[in-house]
Amino acid sequence: MNENGVSAALDVTALEDVYDTLAAAIDSAGPQKASLFLVKLALLNAHALGDAERFREHVAIALRDA
Amino acid sequence: MHTPSSDPRPSIYYRYEVHAPWLPVHDGEVQEHDVLVVGAGPAGLCTALELARLGVRSVVLNAELQVSQGSRAIVFTRRSMEILQQVGVAERVTASGLPWRHGNSYYRGQHVFRMEAPHDPHDRFFPMINLQQQFLEEYLLDACAANPLIDLRWGNRCAAVRQDGERAIAAIETPAGDYAIHARWLVAADGGRSGIRSGLGLPLEGDSYEGFFVIADIRVDLPLPTERRAYFDPPWNPGNTVLMHREPLGIWRIDYQLPPGESPQQALQPESLKARIDAQLAMIGHGDARWELDWSSVYSARALTLSDYVHGRVLFVGDAAHLLPIFGVRGANTGFQDAQSLAWHLAFVVRGLAGPALLSNYSRERVGAAREIIAEAGKSTRFMTPPSDGFQLLRDAVLSLSLSQDFVRPLYHWRTSRPHEYSSSRLNCPGDDDRLFDAGPADGAPPRNVRLGSDDFLLDHVGGALDLLWFGDAPTVPADVWRVIGAYRERGVPIRLTTVGMTRTVDGAERSLPDAAGAMRERYGVPASGAAYLLRPDQHVCARWMTLDAARLRAAVDHLLAAGEGSA
């Protein structure tokens, strides 16, 4: 884990893949449903993470520098 | 002058009986009473019945000449039934109500969650039972009418209350003149729109949620079981929620949220009701069913409580004390627990067994319960009626995910009313063995029922007094324990002894439970003989010991009574 509490398990290639997949999915959901899609995704990821405390840390990081 | 309607209320299933008003002999007369209960709904009537069981007389005022309009509270919990059993009406509720234990949630036509409430073989009552409030009030009123300690006065309206430090002075209006009651204690059981609460200018704390819900009761023949049904985001009412409950006599409750901006007056227009009820029946595949409307009403979700239920000589109970959201059946069910608690605290004060400060314990325990309910109800209410864009998004995301993902489905299950545990009650005995027990109800907890026979349960036998359950195996109760019990009885303290696990009846004990199968010992976490539990008159535990002796029993009872010392 790096200093931001983010797992370093994704290498750059995999991160680029996530980047493209997410961008395409947001476009696919469309502007009306993008927020709903992202919330569903966050809930799925949180469930997979299995750690409410780390989820709270991720929320704090994502709220930063917006 | 007060002129309640003497026309029977309209109903397609309930025959309203109009009672004769109680009239004062002289206009302007003044009466003195120990306890005046203002309000004859479930909370007021239960308070009067419990007071009477503890030997305390009361006058009960009912502003109307008949029971409530419409079905109102229809779902009663197991704990409510245990309390109703204490006041003698549970058998009638069981005979006419519809018991149930499953709740279903639907989204986009798919059954996304099924809740099953636990039903232990040691419980006498089902987790829930549905019955229209008119019947419940009728049963309670019959019990009051049969009780010589209860003076029920129909058609008497409490117009104003003032206090002089020693008593509450109620100005009462009747169809034939006005009079006054000077009461040592006044129980404000005058409901959610309590005139006594507003007259005293008492603010409520908590949350009010936006949005209105319509309640409509219809008679319709639907081949569906008695289970709760919740429909989220139905096509005919997008973004909102619809609930359905079966009631006795072929009545169904349909409860739906209004779109933002629609007023309650618009929603209750007959054509508006008809269109929505037709749409709901069509959605569940019964669009061709013929139906007839009985009653409709509008409510909003509020989670509010007074911060203190004792104001001088005025004691608040039920909806007069708090307004709790309908989700989770928390209104009347909380009121029964309030009433049961208030009655014994007040009875001990009226009978001089404890000082008036004991009543502050009622307030502390029940305000604590209301605050806990408000916190829990907030979670369900935020799911049912999301208060902000963020909550709306999360609710919608959960609905959407629930079509394929199991892990979000439990979020559909709003917590239902449950008995509060008075874990930090001042009445809990500080020097007992509570922490040595691995199982069983802890100090402050409600009791655990135990099946003793095919139609015989522990809770049939305890309540309305301090109950000492002694898990001994000696042939006799120690003489010094007997002397302590006898001394309290001489002072008028209602205390009873039940022995558990003894093979023969013990002289002087109210009853002996053989407990041959050991169920009592198991449910109460008793590993060895000599243990004991002390239950308060509301059946909650206030002390438990691995080994009981006379000094420890005296310490626990004295501790409870001493909570009445000092200032209220």
Q: How confident is residue A2, by pLDDT bands cut at 50, 70 and 90?
A: low
Q: Which residue has the tokens 């013990």?
A: B506
Three-state secondary structure readout of B423-442? CCCCCCCCCCCHHHCCCCCC
Q: Which fold has domain B434-562?
A: Glutaredoxin (3.40.30)
Residues of B in contact with A44 (CB under 8 A): 401, 405
The pLDDT tens digits of the residues spanning B515-530 come to 888 999 999 999 988 9
ipTM: 0.89
Nearest to B554 by CA among B502, B506, B503, B482: B482
* The pLDDT of residue A7: 53
The pLDDT tens digits of the residues spanning B53-100 come to 999 999 999 999 999 999 999 999 999 999 999 999 999 999 999 999
Amino acid at B381: T
φ/ψ (deg, to 5) at B534 = -115, 120
Report whether B482 contacts B476 (CB < 8 A): no
Rounded mean pLDDT of chain A? 91
Write the CA distances from B423 to B365, B372, B464, B540, integer angstroms. 9, 13, 21, 10
Report whether B233 contacts B118 (CB < 8 A): no
Using the beta-carbon criterion (under 8 Å), do B401 and A44 form an inter-chain contact? yes
* The pLDDT of residue A8: 61
Choose between B566 and B22: higher pLDDT.
B22
* The pLDDT of residue B240: 87
The pLDDT tens digits of the residues spanning B285-335 come to 999 999 999 999 998 888 899 999 999 999 999 999 999 877 777 889 999
β-pairing verdict for B58-62 and B150-154: parallel
Residue B513 scores a pLDDT above 90: no
Token pair recorded at residue B311: 């104001």
* The pLDDT of residue B567: 58
Angle at B187 between CA B184 and CA B188, to 5 degrees: 135
* The pLDDT of residue B172: 98
SS3 B262: coil
Token pair recorded at residue A17: 């893949």
Report whether B60 contacts B153 (CB < 8 A): yes
Nearest to B477 by CA among B535, B549, B391: B549
A44 Cβ under 8 Å from any chain B Cβ: yes
Residue A5 scores a pLDDT above 60: no
Amino acid at B467: D
SS3 A38: helix
A59 Cβ under 8 Å from any chain B Cβ: no
Range of lowest pLDDT (A50-59, B125-134, B295-304, B440-449): B295-304
Please give the residue of chain A at the shortest CA–CA distance from B401: A40
The pLDDT tens digits of the residues spanning B171-196 come to 999 999 999 999 999 999 999 999 99
Give CA torsion, residues B91, B97, B99, B103, to 10 deg.
-150
Residues of A in contact with B398 (CB under 8 A): 43
* The pLDDT of residue B501: 85
Residue B21 scores a pLDDT above 90: yes
A10 Cβ under 8 Å from any chain B Cβ: no
Residue B568 scores a pLDDT above 60: no
Q: How confident is residue B514, by pLDDT bands cut at 50, 70 and 90?
A: confident
Mean pLDDT confidence for A32-57:
97
Write the CA distances from B338 to B80, B151, B299, B341, integer angstroms. 11, 21, 22, 5
CA–CA separation, B453 and A36 (whole Å): 55
- What percentage of chain B reaches a pLDDT higher than 90? 83
For B30-98+117-205+306-375, CATH number out of 3.30.413.10, 3.50.50.60, 1.20.1250.20, 3.40.50.720 equals 3.50.50.60
CA–CA separation, B173 and B158 (whole Å): 6
* The pLDDT of residue B159: 97
CATH 3.40.30.120 domain position(s) in chain B: 434-562
CA–CA separation, A21 and B257 (whole Å): 38
* The pLDDT of residue B209: 76
Q: How far is B233 from chain A (nearest CA, A)?
A: 15
* The pLDDT of residue B385: 81
Q: Which residue has the tokens 């049963």?
A: B139
* The pLDDT of residue B413: 73
Tally of helices (H runs) and strands (E runs) in chain A: 3, 0
Residue B402 scores a pLDDT above 80: yes
CA–CA separation, B226 and B219 (whole Å): 15
Residue A59 CB neighbour total at 10 angstroms? 12
CATH 3.50.50.60 domain position(s) in chain B: 30-98+117-205+306-375
Please give the residue of chain A at the shortest CA–CA distance from B396: A36
Q: Residue B472: left if φ>0, alpha if ψ -120 to 50, beta else—which one? A: beta
Angle at B144 between CA B142 and CA B149, to 5 degrees: 150
User: Judging by beta carbons within 10 Å of its beta carbon (0-12, 13-18, 19+), is residue B512 exposed, middle or buried?
Assistant: middle
Residue ranges covered by each domain of chain A: 12-63
Residues of A in contact with B407 (CB under 8 A): 47
Residue B257 scores a pLDDT above 80: yes
Residue B552 scores a pLDDT above 60: yes
A64 Cβ under 8 Å from any chain B Cβ: no
Using the beta-carbon criterion (under 8 Å), do A36 and B398 form an inter-chain contact? no
Chain-centre distance for alpha carbon B118:
20
* The pLDDT of residue B565: 86
The pLDDT tens digits of the residues spanning B130-157 come to 999 999 999 999 999 999 999 999 999 9
23-42 of A, contacting B, C-beta below 8 A: 35-36, 39-40
Annotate B487-546 with DSSP letters as a single string.
HHHHTT--EEEEEES-SSPPTT-SEEE--TT-HHHHHTT--STTEEEEE-TTS-EEEEES
